[in-house]
Structure 1
Amino acid sequence: MQRRSTVAVTGTLLLALGLTACGGSDGGGDADSSADSGSGDYTGETLTVWIMEGTNPDADAFFDEVTTAFKEETGADLQIEFQPWASAHDKFTTSIAGGTTPDVAEVGTTWTGEFAEVGALTDLTDKISEAGLEEDLVPGLVESATLDGGIYGMPWYAGVRSIVYRTDLFEAAGIEPPTSWDELVAAADALKAANPEIIPFPVAGDSQYGAMPFIWGAGGDLATQDGDTWTSEISSPESVEGLEFYTGLATEHGFSTAAATTWKETDLLAAFEQGQVGMMISGSWTPGKIVADVPDMEGKIGAFPIPGQTDGLSDSFLGGSHLGVFAESDKQDLAWEFVEMMTTGELAEEWGQQSGYFPGQTSLLEKVIEEDDPLVAPFAEQMVEAGRSVPVTPLYGQIQGKKTLETMLQSILSGSASVQEAADTAAADMDETFGS
């Protein structure tokens, strides 16, 4: 298999347009026990795999390569079926209900817990342990695949949010990338003083993901689980402290703009590309898009991890996909051979290079960090050291669908509620959903 240097991640990693979550997977039943050794002969068998469309622009060529390698390794054939993201969830739930799931599927990180909870996915904990991989997987991706102590999805790829900034403006104002929240405020102050026409740090009211690092960074949480019961923590003193700091960047310090109260992440990106923004919370997939959209910005942008309150890093949501094995598949061992081949080593690295995301194997991410590319390494560091999942329950998906956190942020930024009042309202709404 022809390989490219890890440094090639620079060009491709950053061209992806966004993160999505998907769902699906399949497994169960008996298989030739010789597959446990990784050298089973499955000649004549076919493994059915669902993969989401659009993540990798060269997916057909990639899976042609995978099919050949899999055939050489196992003797089995692959049947790869690409699924549209928009209709994938409904197709998965229908296939689960009807017992027509594939053997293996790409499952979005926010869907894995949902499918595991209804018994559709195989617990891969023992397989991961037997392969010696338990210490070499990105913790945040393991967290989002874990339900009741079992791991129901193998980390495959993900992206994460850090802070993207204008290096030229920082250098002109003598600003170093901040390493604490106080330094973040000082940097924004210096940007504002040196460049009165720009927005130092816009706070996007229609994006929950910008608030999460500060909620987590202050020691708060979105929700906690006690047995089978989830309870909102968004109105706890720690969470409110983080929300007060984050929204205060706009309401107290004036680093944002009133228009940002209703901005989505796409609005943030557009304002940055128009030269209106000094720094922003943004995804690992955006720096390359910025350079592609506005070539004049090449060499003028950088990134740094989201700083911790006083030191270290604040956790940031990471999202992407697992590979899951469905519980009804009668090709469990063969399915694992495919999952392990795809999510580790050369194929995992190549998928990351082509798709624009990071692999879920820590050792591969460490290689990216060692390359020290200023547009890539900070995101890899964020993902390895401070990547985190939202609550692993399908009920949280309902909360996201209702945009509970965005409504909370917009009420704070618009001045219609205090931070505590808005958080209390959001907590009550979350608890109503959890109670259902």
Structure 2
Amino acid sequence: MTRRRFLSLARGAGVVAASATVLPSVAVTSASAQTSPATAKGGARTVQLRFLTVAGEPMQSIHSQLIERFSRANPNIQIRFEQAPFAELGRKITTEAAGGNPPDVIWADGPEIKHLAYNKVIVPLEPWLYSKAELEDFLPQSLEEGSFKSAVHAIGRRQSCEAVWYNVDLMDRAGIKPPSTLDKAWNFQRWREVWLQVSKPPEIWGVTSRQVLGAGTYESLAFVRSAGEKGSTTYQAISPDGKTVKGYLDTPEALDAIQFWQNLIVKDKVTPPALIPEAFETGRSVCHIYPEHLGPVLRSKYPNLR
């Protein structure tokens, strides 16, 4: 079976299209599917495809349902379902690709797509999966993230954003009422004042994140970029060709923002210098910077947390 034929079938069954940011995307690799001498109903040869995805729920159930749906529509294609923990997924993809044995289809983190496309690990999805006209149905941000050299290689299943979560009870105790509408939203200078007011380290910290605040670009780069006007070099963060950050991450605005985040740890001491697992969930942190998908986790595991 050719990759063109597989993509056409996958689209019809809704597998690649439905399960494909800054977020995870489904992409097709440069691997060759294995054809078995065995035949399926109707005499067609059986093709086996490896699908590598992230381990754990809810994605395991979601992908299992999509694969079952695809298999019913295409009985001559067998999907070999493989999983890896998120922390190991990127390394597994690149290691297997370097060894000449990549999976046929992968679920990859959105920021990895350009890297994988540049190294020819994945192939473009167009025009086999979508026409140019159909791609207009997707958010421009998703198309940009999943494109390399103007060709779409993956489409994120959703877009995400960082949010400042706060413990209502701890805020009430401090007599602080955060805004509830965007037009009255606080900037980070105001949030810093709040964190200074509520912090009582090491028992209670003003703010935490899923990693040490400012230790990685996944969260902190968005805040550094927000120090610049849209379209400015600070906002862009990297040159259009992706080869340099000089003149982008070293602007006065960017350096001020970087210093701001460092001060939260070193000078203000409103956030811990080392990761405290589940600090926000267990009441050791008043605020938490995390994407919107923290909501379902809090509702299911910490129903009494407000």
TM-score by length of 2: 0.65
For residue 283 of structure 1, the aligned residue among 291, 294, 297 is: 291
Distance 1:151 1:135, change over 3 A: same
Q: Does 1:224 align with 2:238?
A: yes
Distance 1:115 1:56 in 2: 25
Give the drift of 1:67.
Answer: 3.7
User: C-alpha offsets along residues 305-335 of structure 1, whole Å, 9 cap, x if unaligned?
Assistant: xxxxxxxxxxxxxxxxxxxxxxxxxxxxxxx
Equivalent runs, 1:122-137 vs 2, <5 Å: 122-127=123-128, 129-130=130-131, 132-137=133-138
Matching residue of 1:242: 257
User: C-alpha offsets along residues 171-227 of structure 1, whole Å, 9 cap, x if unaligned?
Assistant: 55333247578554445535755x564533357253444422221101225742354
Equivalent runs, 1:136-285 vs 2, <5 Å: 136-156=137-157, 160-170=161-171, 172-177=175-180, 179=182, 183-186=187-190, 189=193, 193=197, 195=198, 197=200, 198-202=204-208, 204-219=213-228, 220-221=234-235, 223-225=237-239, 227=241, 229-232=243-246, 233-249=248-264, 254=268, 256-257=270-271, 260=272, 262-264=273-275, 267=276, 270-285=278-293
Where 2:123 maps in the other structure, the secondary structure is: coil
Distance 2:285 2:94 in 1: 42
Give the aligned residue type for 1:276. R
In structure 2, stretches of 5+ residues that fail to align are: 1-21, 33-41, 229-233
Where 1:49 maps in the other structure, the secondary structure is: strand
8 Å contact 1:49–1:104 — kept in the other structure? yes
8 Å contact 1:42–1:74 — kept in the other structure? no
Matching residue of 2:113: 112
Distance 1:56 1:296, change over 3 A: closer
Distance 2:63 2:207 in 1: 41
Greater RCO structure (CA 8 Å; 6+ sep): 1
8 Å contact 1:164–1:279 — kept in the other structure? yes
Q: CA RMSD in A?
A: 4.0
More helix by share: 1
Distance 1:263 1:140, change over 3 A: farther
Matching residue of 2:78: 78
In structure 1, stretches of 5+ residues that fail to align are: 1-18, 30-40, 301-436
8 Å contact 1:200–1:278 — kept in the other structure? yes
TM-score by length of 1: 0.48
Distance 2:43 2:170 in 1: 59
Give the drift of 1:293.
Answer: 4.7
Distance 1:84 1:136 in 2: 31
User: How many pairs are equivalent?
Assistant: 260
Distance 1:64 1:146, change over 3 A: closer
Give the drift of 1:166.
Answer: 1.7
Distance 1:42 1:225 in 2: 54
Distance 1:147 1:42 in 2: 39
Distance 1:159 1:199 in 2: 25
